[in-house]
Structures are given as structure tokens and as C-alpha cells.
Chain A
Amino acid sequence: MNGSGPNLSRASDWTAWPKILLLASLGAAALLGCFSGAIDRYYAGVLTKVGINIILAVSLNLVNGYTGQFSLGHAGFMGVGAYTSAAITLFVGPEILPAGGAAHYAWAAYGLFGGALLAGGLTAALAGLVVGAPSLRLKGDYLAIVTLGFGEIIRVIFCNIKSLGGGLGLNGIPPYTTLFWVFATAVVCTYVVVTMVHSTYGRGFIAVQDDEVAAEAMGLNTTRYKIVAFVVGAFFAGIAGGLYGHDTLSIDPKGFGFMHSIDIVVMVILGGMGNTPGVIAAAVVLTLLPEWLRPVAEYRMVLYSFLLIVLMLTRPQGLFAWRRKSRQFQA
């Protein structure tokens, strides 16, 4: 694997001290959290969106980019996480939080929120396992359609659960999401994905992406690798969903449909599949783009889809693929 070796090691120049980088980024997130009061509300809202999209894009990149499995159901997992964590803070929270409300017991509320996010992530991971175990034996297009179908099934199921608000969704979710929570999660998510892929075990993901048949012939359990990638991706999508729900304060089944999944996929593609810094950059740009394009809102989607086609025709490796041009090498 001469072709992939140098590229991976070159990529590691910014991952040489992953733990230091992790701590530094967490510190930056904490700093950002401290000063979040000073940031304009609008910008804080946009920043929160940026952070959530970074989590979604980086976690999907593990599945779509590194492992090469085309999933179109990421928003579905996000929905599972959003509903689980919102249900916990809405229905369980008042039971266990001491009287006097969250305002007096900030740490209790933090603990509750952290637990809710974790529960949301775990439920989404479980959903990922349930969907992934049977469908990851399929390849390419089929997997795309199954994951897409799964997203639709989730939507219909949420519409039918009366206790979760049915088609109207859940409202009045407590506003627990802060910039610190969002960026700390984004940092942890990026750390986990990057260190996982660059570990000895993680080479398996890239092997599956490069050539599934060859990987299998080398004795890798490809299905298992795909499921691991899928479950980890779903876990972080679930957490992102929890953050999203506690930021928008109301969620409904429509928000987690096919179109949202496509948005995340486009971030991964634009960033360059399997190129984490590029994907982060794409998540930032694509979150800010609609804000910039507000004056021409009605042409936004036309522009967006047109750019996607042009990009695929001219630069399929992604806009931000400056680091590793191509992991594949022609025979």
C-alpha cells in the first residue's frame, strides 16, 4: 500500500500530538463558552449551527469518507438522538432536578443535559447497529437507498408516537445547548474519528474503502468494520441531534428527513471524502453560505444544486482536498 502510506503520514503532521491538540481545542472551546455572553445573539446562533454541522459532517465522514459506505440516513440518527435527549430533559428532568429550577442548580442541569446527550447518542448508536447490521452487507447504491429508507421510516415512526408529540413534535425543550457544549463535542468527535482512523485498527476502514474484496481477502472482517464505523457515526449524529434540539427548543419529524441528510453528505463531499480538515472547512462554509445568500434566498437551492453538479463534474475529489489529493492510485 505504497499509495496510501505517505499520504496518511503526511496527514499526521497535524495529528502528531493528538492529545495536546485535543486539550488545546477543548480549552479554546471553554474560552469560547466563557465569552459566549459577549457574542451577539445572531452570531452565537450561527456559531452553534456551525459546531453542530461540524459534528455531523465529521461523523458522517467516518462512514462515507473513510470507510466508503454511502449513507443517506445520517439525519435519521440525528433525529433519534434529538428525540431521546429532549424526552429525557423534558419528561425525566423535572422529576430529578431539585425544586427551584435549573437556574439555581446549574450543575445539576449540566449533569442532566450531559446524561441526556449521552443517552441520545447511545440510542442513535443502537439504531445504527439495528440498521447497519443487516444492510451493510449490501454495497454502494443499495446501502444508500436502505439508509435513505431508514430515515423515512424513522420519520414516520416519530409521526406516530403520540407521547412524543406525533407530527407536531416536541416543544418547550429547555435551552441547555451552549457554545461550550457544542464545540467541546465537536472537538471530541473529531479527536475520536481522527485517532480511530489513524490507529492500527483504523487502517481497516481505509482498506474497506480502497478495495473491499482485497480487504476481505486479507482476512479483514469488512462487515464488522463497516458496522463499527456506522455505529460510531450514528452515536455522534445522535449527540449532535441532542445539541440541535436543545438549541432550537422545538423538534419535529420533518426536520430529520432526506433533505437534511443530503446537506450533510454534501459537506462531506465538498470537503473531500476522508479528509477531516477539509470536511470541517466545508461544514463551516456550507453553514455560513445560506446566511450570506439570504438576499437571494429563492435562488439559493438552485445555486447550491448547480454548484454540486459542477463540482462533481470538475473536481470530484472535493474543494478542500489540498492535503491528500487521492488515496487511490491507478493500476
Chain B
Amino acid sequence: MRRPGDRPPAVPVLTEFLQQLINGLSLGAVYALLALGYTMVYGILRFINFAHSDVFMVGAFAGYYAARPFTIGFAGTGPALRVNLGIGTHSVSGGLLALLLSMAICALLGIVIERLAYRPLRQRSKLTVLITAIGVSLLLESAGQLVFGADPKPFPELFPVREFSGGGLNVSSNQLLVIGVSALLLIGLQFIVLKTKMGTAMRAVSFNHQAASLVGINNDRVISFTFGLGSALAAAGGILYAMNYPSIEPYMGILPGLKAFVAAVLGGIGNIPGAALGGVLLGLIETFVNGSHYSTYTDAIAFAVLILILLFRPAGLLGKVVVEKV
């Protein structure tokens, strides 16, 4: 996610367009991963999991700590969490292991959050759950500040970085990696949701809780699974996001989280392909705005998109209009 200033000046329009397209896709891929978690939880429980953006942050930190033993410059300063995966410095397999480890940690975190904070509130009003979610989000942020420290930390090179340039285009291997890994995860998710028994159960629960439990589906288990799955994707998103940004800190999740939620609404909340589409679209829009004269308004664009979509197509691009029955 190259800042406009990094580009060589006076590039032809088409090249610039392609460059921004790639930048936008790699940002959009992260939004898509994060948006999936929002959309799956919303689809099943009908509430915004505010803590999701902080799971994303924890994912990035898990990657940071997992990577420490095999990054350069680590001199065994802190014995606190020394995970030695026994793999050489920033190799592809090491990076993938760190990614998987972080996804596993966050999946567990997501399941624990759901179990402790949200499950006891299942029968309560949506507002209560929403406020609890805000509380969990604040707790993760402030606990993160205590545990990880408030100062921004440089994210290690998980994967070997290579720059490809040609014809005025500058693409780093990280950007391609982000797009590739996200695409793989999306395909994997689509497979889980459409082809496996658990995926079928997830869809059933999102249609109707009661009917699902009548046909023998354990709702609680499905919900736990959904949280785990969404949180694992958020962790992957966190690492992929951190790879293209210089540093990570405990509050890093707030803005990407909000934007990813906007992406989920843009695609139609509750709709999995919609979330992916919304994420990519939002990433592209933001990158193109960032490359234009209005770059200082980048952070506001997502919310402008949100307000427009809610005004003109509240169900989102791929969502179905649901008539409220009394």
C-alpha cells in the first residue's frame, strides 16, 4: 500500500491506473477478509461484533511475536514469549507457519469472547449485546496497550520481500502475497460454507435458529465455529495488513475494522460473496481517492460510501431486500 509520494513522477495514465489497481486490490483483500467475519456473525446473530477489529489487531501482534525468533536483530532480549518454530529467517514456510499460528490463536480468542461475553446475552436485547461488544473491544485495546505496549512496533518481514518493477509499475511480492493468500482463504471459506456439514449448519442457523435446532443442529456449536472461523480470517487479515504497513499498535484495528464493516454493508450484510466484493470495492475506491487531489479525505470516504449505500440500497449490492414482518 504505497503512498502516492513513493511513485516516480510523471507516469502515464494507464500505468498509474494499473499501479493503483494493484495497490487497491491488496488493500481491498484485507478489508474483504475482515468484512467476512462481520458478515458471518451478523448473518447468524444479527449484531455488529465490535471486537472483531481488535481480534484483527491481536492477529497482527501474534504474527509479530511468532516471527520474533526468526527475524533478524532478535537478540533474545525478552524471554516472555519465545516461540521457536525451528525455521530459518523469514522463509516462506516460516511466514506461513506464523500466519497459521496467529489464525489459530485468534480463532481461540474469538471462541472465548463469544463464550464468555456474548453467549450469556443471547436472549437479551440487541442493544445490550452491542454495548457488550464495544466493551470487549475497549478491553482488548486497553489490555493490548498493557501487554504489548502503546508504542508502534515495526512489523518484521515475515516473508522474503522482492520488488518487481517494469513498465513503470512497482509491485512488491508482499502485495501479490496479500492478494493470493486472501483469494485462497476466500475459496477455502466458500468451500467450508457450501460443501461441508458445518457450513450447511451455519447457513441453516442464519436462516432460522429455531428451525435449525429442531432438525438437530447444535446452535451454540455452530455459533462458536462461526466466531472461530471469522476470527481466524481476521488474524490473517491483520498479518497481511501489517506486512504492508510499517508498524503495528494496539489501536490499529479501529479504522480498518470500521471500514471493513462498511464493506460488509456495501456488499450486503450477511452475504459472504458480498462481503468479499464490498471489501475489494472499498479498497479500490479508497486507493483511488488517496491517489487523487482529495487524498486527505481518504478516511472519510468509507463512511460517505456507507451513508450513500444505506440511503439508496440499504440491502447492499448483493443482499436481498427483507420485508420486516410483525
Contacts and interface: CB of A to CB of B under 8 A. Distances in A.
Nearest to B255: A152
Contacts of A309: 117, 132, 135-136, 139
A138 B304 contact: no
Interface string B283-298: 0000000000000110
A150 B303 contact: yes
Interface size class of B (residues with CB under 8 A): 35 or more
Interface string B117-136: 10011001111101110111
B134 A135 contact: no
A269 B306 CA distance: 27
A144 B48 CA distance: 10
B310 interface: yes
Contacts of B265: 142, 145
A153 B132 contact: no
B254 interface: yes
A227 to B, nearest CB: 15
B264 to A, nearest CB: 10
B124 to A, nearest CB: 6
Nearest to B145: A301
Interface string B97-140: 00000000000000000000100110011111011101111110
Interface stretch (A44-52, A154-162, A244-252): A154-162
Interface of B is mostly: helix
Contacts of A152: 258, 299-300, 303
B47 A153 contact: no
Interface string A164-207: 00000000000000000000000000000000000000000000
Contacts of A144: 48, 130
Contacts of B307: 134-135, 146, 149-150
A308 B135 contact: yes
Contacts of B117: 309, 313
19 contacts: A138-B314, A141-B126, A146-B306, A146-B310, A148-B258, A152-B258, A152-B299, A156-B299, A160-B296, A301-B138, A301-B141, A304-B142, A305-B136, A305-B139, A305-B141, A306-B135, A313-B117, A313-B132, A316-B124
Given A145-B258, A145-B306, A308-B134, 14 more contacts: A68-B127, A70-B127, A138-B314, A140-B126, A146-B310, A149-B258, A149-B262, A149-B302, A153-B304, A157-B300, A213-B324, A265-B131, A305-B137, A316-B124
